[in-house]
Amino acid sequence: MQEVAVVGVGLHRFGKAGDAIVGNKSVTELCRHAVDMALQDAGISWRQVQAVSAASSRFSGGKGWGLNGNDVVEDLGSTGVPVYNLSAGCAAGGNAFNVGWSLVAGGVYDVVLVVGGEVMPKGMIQTAGTEEVTDPEFLRQRCVGIPGPAFWSMLARRRMHEFGTTEEQMATVTVKARRCSVGNPFARFQQAITLGDVLNSPYVSNPLRLFEICPVSNGAAAAILCSPQKARQFTGKPVWVAASAVATLGFDDSLPRNLAGPVPTGPSYHTEVMGAVRKAFERAGIGPRELSFTELQDNTCYYELAYPEEWGLCEPGEAEHLVEAGETAPTGRMPINPSGGFVSFGEATTAMGVFQIAEVTWQLRGQSGARQVPDASVALAQTNGLGGNATAAILKR
C-alpha cells in the first residue's frame, strides 16, 4: 500500500431549493461547481482524472439508480474514465472517499476524483421507497413512527437521565456550532444565535428543538486524491490520508432493525461508528487525544456530546462542561466541528463525508480564516448512515 494525498478540494455552498444560495440548480450543476473548484485547487485538468468514486442516492434526479457519478462524467466530458457509484445513506460520501483512497493506495490509479452531491426532498428523510408491508423500513416509519428526530430524541433523553444533561447544555452546542459557521462561505447558516434563540425554537421531538436538528439541504463536495509521485508534481504541501476505514453495525447495536433491536451491551449505541473510528486510530497509529480537531456527524447536538466520550477524546459525562468552558471551539483544547457541522450546513446526505474532507484539508493547510484551529496537524472525519454504515478518515499534514 502506498501513501495517498489530498491535493484539491471543492464545495458548493449549502442551501435549499429556490433560495438565493442554490436557486434551482440540479445535483449535476452543484457537483460541477464542486469538481471544478477541486480541479482548480489541485491545479489539474479533467482529462488527468483516471477514475471517479461517486457518492450516490435516489433523491437527486438525473439518471436515478444511484448513477450520480455517470451524470457528473457526462457533464464534464465523457473521457471513458471508470466510475464507481456508492450508496450508503449519510455515510455515502465517506464510503466514496474510502473507495477512492483504496484505489490510489493499492496502486490501481494515480489520480482519483471523489464527489458527492444532493438535491434533497422537503421534510424529514423517508427511508422506505415503497409501501410494502413486508419491508422493515416501511413498517418502522409507518407503524412505529420513528423518523430520525424521534430516534435522536430518545438518545438525548437517555443522556439526560444518565448524566443530568440539561436542555440549556444541549442548546449551548448549537450556539457554539453557529458561532463557528459565521463567515464560513460554504455554510447554509452564517449568523450567530443566542441560547434564548435555540430554547425558543419549537420542539421537533422533545427534548430536541428545531435549531438543534440539522435540516435537509442541497449541496455538493469534491476531492482529488493522488499517489505520492503525482501529488508532488501538483503541490509542495499535500495533505496526507493517515487512515480510512469503513464498518457496519454489530449484533449488539441499538439501532432499530425489523422494528426493534437488542439492548446494547457496550458503551456505544452505534457499534458501526465505534468500529470505524477504532480501525482508523489503529491504522493511523495514534490515540484519540492526539487529534488537533474532529469533524463528526452532528445530525443533532446529542452526537457532539456523546461521540467524543465514546471514542476516548474525553471522559464520560465531561462533554457538556467542555462545551460550556469553550473547549470545543476552534481555539479550545478539544475542537469539535470548527466548520459549524451539520447543524450549520444542513444535510445533503451523500455530500457530507466529502464536505468533511474539504473542511479538514483547509484546516490542515491553515486556510480556514476565523474558524481556524491553531497549529492543526491531524484530524478525524466521521460519518454514519442508514443501514448501519459508518466511515472514519484521519488526515495529517
Contact residues for 56 (Cβ-Cβ < 8 A; gap 6+): 66, 67, 68, 69, 85, 86, 87, 92, 116, 350
Question: At residue 85, what is the residue type?
Answer: N
Q: What pLDDT, on a 0 to 100 scale, did the predictor assign at position 62?
A: 75
Percent of the chain having pLDDT more than 70? 91
Asked whether residue 188 is assigned to any structural domain, the reply reads no
Q: What pLDDT, on a 0 to 100 scale, did the predictor assign at position 293?
A: 98
Q: What pLDDT, on a 0 to 100 scale, did the predictor assign at position 259?
A: 40
Asked whether residue 331 is assigned to any structural domain, the reply reads yes
Asked whether residue 206 is assigned to any structural domain, the reply reads no
Asked whether residue 193 is assigned to any structural domain, the reply reads no
Neighbours of 16 (CB within 10 A): 17
Q: What pLDDT, on a 0 to 100 scale, did the predictor assign at position 122?
A: 78
The string of pLDDT tens digits covering residues 265-277 is 555 677 889 899 9
Q: What pLDDT, on a 0 to 100 scale, did the predictor assign at position 141?
A: 67
User: What is the rounded distance in angstroms from the CA atom of residue 270 to the CA atom of residue 53?
Assistant: 26
CATH code (residue 276): 3.40.47.10
Asked whether residue 117 is assigned to any structural domain, the reply reads yes
User: What is the rounded distance in angstroms from the CA atom of residue 343 to the CA atom of residue 364?
Assistant: 22
User: What is the rounded distance in angstroms from the CA atom of residue 197 to the CA atom of residue 382?
Assistant: 28
pLDDT in tens, the chain (397 residues): 899 999 999 999 999 988 888 888 999 999 999 999 999 999 999 999 999 999 987 676 677 668 899 999 999 999 999 999 998 989 999 999 999 999 999 999 999 999 999 998 877 676 656 677 777 777 766 776 677 888 899 899 999 999 999 999 999 999 999 999 999 999 999 999 999 999 999 999 999 999 999 999 999 999 999 999 999 898 878 999 999 999 998 776 655 444 444 445 555 677 889 899 999 999 999 999 999 999 999 999 999 999 999 999 999 999 999 999 999 999 999 999 999 999 999 999 999 999 999 999 999 999 999 999 999 999 999 999 888 899 999 999 9
pTM over 0.75: yes
Q: What pLDDT, on a 0 to 100 scale, did the predictor assign at position 168?
A: 97
User: What is the rounded distance in angstroms from the CA atom of residue 267 to the CA atom of residue 272?
Assistant: 12
Number of independent structural domains in the chain: 1
CB 7 within 8 A of CB 42: yes
User: What is the rounded distance in angstroms from the CA atom of residue 195 to the CA atom of residue 205?
Assistant: 18
Q: What pLDDT, on a 0 to 100 scale, did the predictor assign at position 358?
A: 98
Domain region containing 24: 5-124+212-396
Q: What pLDDT, on a 0 to 100 scale, did the predictor assign at position 360?
A: 98
Asked whether residue 120 is assigned to any structural domain, the reply reads yes
Mean pLDDT of the chain: 91
User: What is the rounded distance in angstroms from the CA atom of residue 178 to the CA atom of residue 189?
Assistant: 7
